[in-house]
Amino acid sequence: MKRLRIGVFGMSQEAMLATPGHLDPRTVLISRGAEVVENDLWVVRGIVRALREDPAVEIVPLMVVRCRASAPFSRDFFEACKAEILSLLAAKGPFDGLVAGNHGAMEVDGLAVSGDTDLIGAIRAQVGPALPIAMALDMHGHVPPPLLRDAQAFAVFRTAPHRDDDGTGYRAARMLLRILREGLNPRRAAVHIPLFLPGEMAMTDYEPMRSLYAALPGIDRRPGILGADYMVGFAWNDRPWIGMAAVVTAEGDPELARAVALEMAATLWARRDEFGLRMAAREVGDGLEEAGRLATEGPVYLSDAGDNVTAGAYGDLTLVLQAALARPAIGPTVVCNIIAPEAVAQCHAAGIGATLTLQLGAEHLSRPATAVPATGVVEALGESLNPASAAHLRAVTAPWARVRFGHVTATFHARRIQITTPHLLEAMGIDPRAPGIFVFKVGYLHPELEDVGARHILLLSDGTSNLDLTRLPYAQIRRPALPFDPGMQWSPEQGLATDGQG
């Protein structure tokens, strides 16, 4: 069996253009060389697992840039990362194929294309037209036509909340190995579907996504198909390629790729009216009061969905905290991960046990400042979060403070943080299983939180990740589109794109 040299790399970022500033490079995990296979990286671990199963494969680990959802890349930081990947490709080659562990919603300040498109386009220009590239992507990413042309195979997440990053990386690598072992010339087709949905309205636990995604393995098994996927997309960004999509990789028949992509798009479009919020969703005040009534049964987890840092929002808004403070009858409440560096500095200067007055909302950047005074007691301080109970979590090296305002405890942070696991609460001295209300800056709950909370309520709060997309400004998206143009007419042929091979 021929020995194959496979390069593994990735730049995984989900960017929200409306988030102020740029991605903070200090929050980026960059793995180089052996670290790529040793660091148990999201998505990449599945790629590595698949390649290791083939004894004739030599894995050539290059570089993986792993980011939390955030503001877009600055142009300088992106270009530096891209240049390093290109340099490694030149130095470590030749290759028989490449596998990328990306996200698909990477955005870069000043680029007219998506970051994923620009990166893969630069790699294609360097390695030439023949070298196969397979990509593992998040369902909340995109495959614009230039990316469809430059990469040869795509595997996309099939669960939301995401539980299949390992399996998606595995599928991408296995597709590449089939292409190489069988000498395939894969053909791709995608249909852009003019339907804009926040991820909370397209969860695979509920219809119609549950059955749409359940049908995909059967499509994969059809003769001539390498893989077929739906993409929900990243609906909050105002870019021409935003929207849902059906993406198909065929073994070699372009007509088959087109036909299956059109079929999948038609199936999804026929069910467009079924999408919506399936979990409990309430306006902020109503949700807090309902949670107060339920909290005696166990921890009630609330999502501050409008300021969802896991979708890239900044996390600076105190609107839900202010609403909770105005409702003492709701009982013990914890409001987590508010980004407020000045408030953190005040708390550290005052020290544990100090009573001080903070101007809540004075540091709002993503929405107007509100500056509501609140007096509280500093209960805990830290310079970083590094939970010993969860070695797989990367430490957040930034100061934080825990402050109690009567019935409400809030955690403030000097730098953006995603609290998607109970371990981070425990590291701040908070019991995530105690009866009471817990507010997280997320949308749907991530799996580790979902497994702990007794109840979950989505708060329809304001912010850059507002779930009512009609309240947000758009100028570049393709119109007509839903939900902006109710009653619009559309057929899948209008959104069809191919790999450009004729």
Q: Tell me 428's DSSP state.
A: T
Looking at residue 501, its pLDDT comes to 85
Question: Which pLDDT tens digit goes with each residue over 314-346?
Answer: 999 999 999 999 999 999 999 999 999 999 999
| 375, pLDDT greater than 70 | yes
Q: Is 1 exposed, middle or buried (0-12, 13-18, 19+ CB in 10 A)?
A: exposed
Residue % of the chain over a pLDDT of 90: 89
Distance CA 85, CA 131 (A): 16
For residue 422, what pLDDT is reported? 92
Query: In the prediction, which pLDDT does 390 show?
Result: 45
Q: pLDDT-based confidence at 392, cuts 50/70/90?
A: very low
> What pLDDT digit, counting tens, does each position of 34-67 carry?
999 999 999 999 999 999 999 999 999 999 999 9
Residue 397's pLDDT is what?
76
CA atoms within 13 A on the CB side of 249: 28
What single-letter amino acid sits at 285?
Answer: G
Percent of the chain whose pLDDT exceeds 70: 98
pLDDT of residue 253: 98
Q: Which of 175, 294, 335, 311 is nearest to 236 (CA)?
A: 311
At 354, the amino acid letter reads A
Q: Average pLDDT, stretch 405-434?
A: 94
Tokens of 296: 């005696």
Predicted model pTM: 0.93
Q: How far apart are CA 448 and CA 418, in angstroms?
A: 13
487: Cβ contacts below 8 Å, ≥ 6 apart: none
Chain centroid to CA 416: 15
| Segment 393-419 mean pLDDT | 88
- What was the pLDDT predicted at 10? 98
Mean of the per-residue pLDDT values of the chain: 95
Contact 60, 181 (CB under 8 A): no
Q: Are strands 436-440 and 333-339 parallel, antiparallel or unpaired?
A: parallel
Phi and psi at residue 475, to the nearest 5°: -135, -25
pLDDT tens readout for residues 459-478 = 999 999 999 999 999 999 99
Tokens 């930081």 — which residue? 77
What is the pLDDT at residue 58?
98
User: Going by C-beta distance under 8 Å and a sequence separation of 6 or more, which residues neighbour residue 268?
Assistant: 193, 195, 208, 212, 230, 244, 246
Total residue length of the chain: 502
Could you report the per-residue pLDDT of 227-279, keeping only the tens digit for each?
999 999 999 999 999 999 999 999 999 999 999 999 999 999 999 999 999 99
pLDDT on residue 26: 83
